[in-house]
Amino acid sequence: MKRSTLSRRSPLKRKTRMRPRRATPRRSGRVRDREYLEVVRGMPCCLRVLGECNGDVQAHHAGKRPMGRKADDDTAVPLCSWHHEAVHSVWGTAAARPWMDRAIEQTRIWVRARLGRAA
């Protein structure tokens, strides 16, 4: 392939200014509360009325997640490992949203009463 004889008189200019990289990464603005999660893990499973619950309870972060990040800890609800797996694999987020919102509010009320915090 033959190259063209045309050449630039001046170099191409950048259209946008490049921002310098941060020396330290930004923190996620996520609210973390270890005490809250410990109390949630001590509660019974929210879906125990549906049956097939086992004893080990995990904190499921059911809140809204901005851009793929984990939700705040105060949106955690207690689920046994069987139901936790079912929520992640089977249920769609839109179908479970009304139930999850109610479960989050009930869990917040119960945990804050247990920790002695104002609602």
For 55-98, how does the pLDDT look when each residue is reduced to its tens digit (9 = 90+)? Answer: 789 888 887 776 667 788 888 899 888 888 887 776 656 677 78
Domain total of the chain: 1
72 located within any domain = yes
109 located within any domain = yes
d(CA 42, CA 82): 16
So what's the pLDDT on residue 38? 92
45 located within any domain = yes
59 located within any domain = yes
12 located within any domain = no
10 located within any domain = no
Instruction: Check whether 119 has a pLDDT greater than 60.
Output: no
State CA 29 to chain mean position distance.
12
27 located within any domain = no
pLDDT tens, position by position, 29-55: 677 888 999 999 998 888 877 667 877
78 located within any domain = yes
Query: pTM for the whole thing?
Result: 0.65
* Domain around 106: 34-115
